[in-house]
Amino acid sequence: MSSKLISHNADLKKLRDEGYEIEIKNAHLLVRSVPYVNARKEIARGVLVSPLGGMAGDKTTRPQDHVIHFAGNHPCDKDGNLIKGIQHSTAKKTLAEGVEVDHSFSNKPEGGYADYYEKVTTYVKIIEAHAQSIDSSVSAKTFQVIESDDSDTPFHYFDTNSSRAEIEAISAKLKNLKIAIIGLGGTGSYVLDFVAKTPVKEIHLFDEDGFLSHNAFRSPGAASLEALRTQPKKVAYLHGIYSQMRKDVIPHEYHLAEPTLNELAGMSFVFICIDESEAKKLIVEKLVALNIPFADVGMGINVIDGLLAGSARVTTVTPERKEHAGKRISFSDGKNDDYDQNVQIAELNALNAALAVIKWKKLFGFYHDLGKEYHATYDISVNKIMNDETDA
C-alpha cells in the first residue's frame, strides 16, 4: 500500500521523485535522513514525521495542521544554539507502533500548508540550511526510498482517525485479537460496526437469519431496496459491507449449537448478542470452559402508558471473574417484553453495543477502568447506568 499511496498522490510522489527519503508507516509520513546541526555543532541526521490525518481514503488532502514532529536531537544553528523560530515542544512520544519522536516544531504560514510537499520542504529548508552552512554538500535528498511493509494491516486503507488523534499506539493493543460476534441483529450489527474500526486481526460473524426490512431499521447505515429484495443472510449482507473497509471479516451463516461450539476455541473475545435460551446457555458454558472472556448483551423494553421504558444490559465474564455468570445472564426467551414488536429502537441497540465494546476495550487496556464492573445496566427512564459485580 505504501508504494501505491505514494504513486497515487502528487505531493508524496513529488517528494519521492525529488529524492527525499520518504516512508509511509502506520498512517504517518516519515522523511528520513534530514541533515541538521546538533548542540555540539556537528552535522547529524534526523526524521521528520507528519500524521497523514488529512486523507480521504487513499488520497491526500490539505494537512490537518502546521505542526510536524522530529526524531533526533533538537536542531541548532551552526553555533550550536537551538533554532527557536520553530520550537514547539520536547517530549519523547510514540505516535504509532514503530513511530517514535522527540520533538515537535511549529511554523505556520498564512493559510496553512497546501499539501504535504509544501509542509515537508518548508521544514527541511529551515533545518537543513544550518547544516549546509557548515557543509554545503549535505542534503535531505538522498534518493533512497524506503518501502513500508503494510501487509499486516487489517484495513484496505490507512486508519487516519487514530493517527490524527495520535492514539495509534493505544489502538495497537487490540491488534492480533480474534473476535466473534454471535447474533447480527440490532445490537450485534452495531457491535460489528464498532469493532470493524479497530485493528483486530479477525472478526467472526455467526448468524443464520435473513436480513429483512425490519433489520434495516435497527442496524447501522441504510440498506437499499434492491439489497432487501435479494433477501440476503444477515452475515452475508454485513460481510459485504464491512469487507469493503477491512480484511478478515469471516462469515458463518449458521447458529452456534452443540456440533459447532468448538469453533469458538481460539477466540480472544466473544460478544453474545442473541436471545435464544438454550443456545445462549450452551455458548456461555462453552466459553467458561474454554476460559474465553465474553460480553453478553440484552435489552428489556416494555410499553408503559404509551411510552417505551426498560433497560439495556452488559454482563462481562472473564476467566478470573466468572462466578456471577449464572445469576446475571438470563436464559429466558424474552417473550414477556415488547422488544420483538418494537423495532424502532436503533439508538438503544447502538447504546447497548457501545457499552459492550467500551467494556471490551477496557479489558484489553484501551480505556481507563476505575469501576471494574462486570455487570452494567442502563435504565432509560432515569437515564442512569448502574454498575454491579465490581472489583473496585
CA-CA distance, 165 to 53, in Å (whole number)?
A: 8
Tell me: the pLDDT tens digits for 75-118? 999 999 999 999 999 999 999 989 999 999 999 999 999 999 99
**Distance in angstroms (rounded) separating the CA atoms of residues 348 and 208:** 23
Instruction: List phi, psi (to 5°) of 390.
Output: -95, 155
**pLDDT 10s digits, 343-364:** 458 999 999 999 999 999 999 9
Are 177 and 365 in contact by the 8 Å Cβ rule? The answer is no
* CB 70 within 8 Å of CB 86: no
Contact yes or no for 70/105 (Cβ under 8 A): yes
- Report residues of the chain scoring pLDDT below 70: 1-2, 145-152, 333-344, 392
Answer whether 315's CB lies under 8 Å from 379's CB.
no
Identify residue 200 by its one-letter amino acid code.
V
Q: Report the C-alpha gap between 42 and 79 in whole angstroms.
A: 10
pLDDT of 54: 73
Contacts of 92 (CB under 8 A, 6+ apart): 100, 101, 102
Distance from the Cα of residue 12 to its chain's centroid = 25
The whole-angstrom separation of Cα 73 and Cα 101 is 10
pLDDT at 342: 45
Ranges of H-type helices in 133-233: 160-165, 168-171, 186-195, 213-216, 225-229
What's the half-sphere exposure (Cβ side, CA atoms, 13 Å) at 18?
16
Start-to-end CA distance of the chain, whole Å, equals 45
Domains of the chain: 2-155 (no CATH), 176-390 (3.40.50.720)
Q: Which helix (H) or strand (E) covers residue 315, if one does?
A: strand 307-317
